[in-house]
Structure 1
């Protein structure tokens, strides 16, 4: 087909149907593709040489994709739909491999699982015949949503984990606003700007007709997260990483560090909009997932390398760990005390608090507990919502001088 073809030419019915099904596939994979993109894609295919795969992919991507982070998903969907649809099962198997296994010579791109799941979902299946709904006694029962809120992350199956991840992405983390030293122009501000007032009076021959005023800028404080990814915390860390990804993309000045036997800064990796791309990058950047725990060494490394960079302007620190240190709390108390004095609030989130009979018996927990402002559980969705309520309250000033 010639590139100089009549612009009013209509696409072949077979091509139009394929483009429609391809748009549905992209929509099931999570991309915002609607009727406008499908029509634009059909029109784009009438203006290129269909014998060229490169031209077809470029035309469809230009018409249907509007964000850079969606290109990986589109490329996977294009390769599977237009060339080898049977490869979906292979892509899904490769994408579901555990990050700790030895890498294969060819690793599936991070978007392949979403595309494979979109291939597997069939919306055109015939609907089963309607039957009379059974009468169910709802006395002393709870809804599925309430059960999900209270279910422990460690006890969740695959379906519950998927639902929990969707709920976590909807959570919003409002931090208490802090006044900064910066000023911005405000007609009704409480601070008089003498320099700007005199400068504006020069335009009126030295007569002061208006008084310029300013107001202090308010912004949320920095949020710093230290998350334990050792073997005892691996299941919780995998789910909490979705919460941290949502928070990192929702607000600025968020720093996320993961630690097991060493400290890893994954802030840049979590800024990727696509969750699968972000987690794939985190898996490459963190070598000690599900290993041992050296909390004291990790906190010491943070204090030495990162504290002065990220703990300014009233920073809030979330420490997510169970407190089980393989080094026997060596130097942990001193490093926790320094971390506590460097931030405005230090909140320790421990999944072991889900047990009603919890007692701080390990050496690590005993060394850390005196140096935290809040000690709270983090084992289900309800505890995450409680954490959000806590962080939205006004900050209580400490009595110590920093």
Structure 2
């Protein structure tokens, strides 16, 4: 990290209020800082003092930054918030290309954009009226690298513009699935199986003489897709992007019996936080914004608490038999951070796995290097899933196709179960 200039901070009788406002900006930019962190930050500043800018910076960083990935956004918001005029002008020029201020040759990254958007809170000054319009020439040679970077960028670290671009990419994705053989059959001239009944019926019409052997082929059917999406506070940013992806899948699947590779029998979607909500009918709307707006009004517990065990109990009791037939595949999107009693959670996970063909758990916490199943909820759920994969970027959602096409794919499940066994 670069060395901060050793400048004394001006005395301010409202330092506590400014720290609170600063932490609010961090929360808008995606850092998980709550009211408890505010008190800790104020106490840390009281203990360290704030006569030196570097001491003030490191005291706040020690309290408010939880992982290395958050340091960049913290540093950008700190410099922008605590009165660095040159940096503020640079951020304004980033948000409004018409403003010609202090610019550097270094391209602005996602952390800088998120910092500017969090502090400006969407309130941008009007552009100059007399500013001449310029024709911008786009170099197509950088398109591939930009698209690749967007595919692997964390949803939580995206700027507003990048989120819109990611939604457009998600709308084009498909989720291929292989058809399942059915016990029923259909008449086929070159079918692989003999059809004795049809052969004898045709023979009876001809006085018992068999002229040809009838043959048949098995029918194929498409499994259902059931999505259970966590919309609690810790999952809200990821669940919105995942639901955009589910909307695209729900509006692209073919009817039963379709020969298209991405066809599903039916697509059912449920959200849960403190309660279970069926949003299947809302996702049938063609317009994704209207569909998610209606789903948000239906799900009153958006960005609230988490009760995974109780929500799975409600699903297994009220909806399991209706939607899990015909070899359904279940996508469970949650971070597994449940504070309820883990015994019920384990029982409901086991029942869910036994009721479906495959249970795939998508967890955004897998984006962290060295992720380990420490939380009790994750330990209770992990043994009852068939595949455990990440869900924090476009690339991670694209990798779902691999999990569905390979019946032996288990993602990170085997490695994490081994880690749990070693702890015991």
- Following TM superposition, by how much is the alpha carbon of 1:396 offset from its aligned partner in structure 2, in angstroms? 7.7
Indicate the SS of the match to 1:143. helix
Partner of 1:289: 302
Instruction: Please tell me whether the aligned partners of residues 260 and 289 of structure 1 are also in contact (alpha carbons under 8 angstroms).
Output: yes
- Following TM superposition, by how much is the alpha carbon of 1:326 offset from its aligned partner in structure 2, in angstroms? 3.0
Instruction: Please tell me whether the aligned partners of residues 387 and 409 of structure 2 are also in contact (alpha carbons under 8 angstroms).
Output: no
Partner Cα separation in structure 1 for residue 167 and residue 189 of structure 2 = 45
Q: 2:363 aligns with which of 350, 371, 378?
A: 350
Instruction: Please tell me whether the aligned partners of residues 189 and 215 of structure 1 are also in contact (alpha carbons under 8 angstroms).
Output: yes
- Following TM superposition, by how much is the alpha carbon of 1:196 offset from its aligned partner in structure 2, in angstroms? 2.4
Partner Cα separation in structure 2 for residue 317 and residue 323 of structure 1 = 16
Partner of 1:164: 166
Residue 273 (structure 2) pairs with residue 254 (structure 1): no
- Following TM superposition, by how much is the alpha carbon of 1:190 offset from its aligned partner in structure 2, in angstroms? 1.9
CA displacement 1:365-402 (0-9 Å, x = unmatched): 111111111111110011111112211224689xxxxx
Residue 402 (structure 2) pairs with residue 389 (structure 1): yes
Indicate the SS of the match to 1:338. helix
Q: 1:317 aligns with which of 306, 317, 330?
A: 330
What is the RMSD of the two structures over their aligned residues, measured on CA atoms?
2.6
Structure 2, unpaired ranges of 5+ = 1-131, 254-264, 411-424
Partner of 1:190: 192
Distance 1:199 1:171, change over 3 A: same
Partner Cα separation in structure 2 for residue 347 and residue 261 of structure 1 = 21
Instruction: Please tell me whether the aligned partners of residues 179 and 221 of structure 2 are also in contact (alpha carbons under 8 angstroms).
Output: yes
The equivalences for 1:137-176 within 5 A come to 143-176=145-178
CA displacement 1:32-54 (0-9 Å, x = unmatched): xxxxxxxxxxxxxxxxxxxxxxx
Instruction: Please tell me whether the aligned partners of residues 351 and 377 of structure 1 are also in contact (alpha carbons under 8 angstroms).
Output: yes
Residue 379 (structure 2) pairs with residue 366 (structure 1): yes
CA displacement 1:71-96 (0-9 Å, x = unmatched): xxxxxxxxxxxxxxxxxxxxxxxxxx
CA displacement 1:84-143 (0-9 Å, x = unmatched): xxxxxxxxxxxxxxxxxxxxxxxxxxxxxxxxxxxxxxxxxx984688x99x9x8xx971
Distance 1:312 1:129, change over 3 A: closer
Residue 236 (structure 2) pairs with residue 240 (structure 1): no
Partner Cα separation in structure 2 for residue 183 and residue 367 of structure 1 = 42
Calculate the TM-score normalised by the size of structure 2: 0.59
Q: Which moved more, 1:195-204 or 1:159-168?
A: 195-204
- Following TM superposition, by how much is the alpha carbon of 1:159 offset from its aligned partner in structure 2, in angstroms? 1.2
The equivalences for 1:1-400 within 5 A come to 128=134, 143-251=145-253, 252-329=265-342, 331-394=344-407
Partner Cα separation in structure 1 for residue 346 and residue 187 of structure 2 = 46
- Following TM superposition, by how much is the alpha carbon of 1:284 offset from its aligned partner in structure 2, in angstroms? 2.6
CA displacement 1:160-185 (0-9 Å, x = unmatched): 11111111111111112211112112
- Count residues in correspondence: 267
CA displacement 1:246-300 (0-9 Å, x = unmatched): 1112223221111011111111211122212322321232111111110000111
- Following TM superposition, by how much is the alpha carbon of 1:328 offset from its aligned partner in structure 2, in angstroms? 4.6
Instruction: Please tell me whether the aligned partners of residues 183 and 215 of structure 1 are also in contact (alpha carbons under 8 angstroms).
Output: yes
Instruction: Please tell me whether the aligned partners of residues 273 and 308 of structure 2 are also in contact (alpha carbons under 8 angstroms).
Output: yes
Distance 1:315 1:217, change over 3 A: same
Indicate the SS of the match to 1:209. coil
Calculate the TM-score normalised by the size of structure 1: 0.62
Indicate the SS of the match to 2:270. strand
Distance 1:129 1:322, change over 3 A: closer
Instruction: Please tell me whether the aligned partners of residues 335 and 364 of structure 2 are also in contact (alpha carbons under 8 angstroms).
Output: yes
Instruction: Please tell me whether the aligned partners of residues 312 and 343 of structure 1 are also in contact (alpha carbons under 8 angstroms).
Output: yes
Partner of 1:65: none
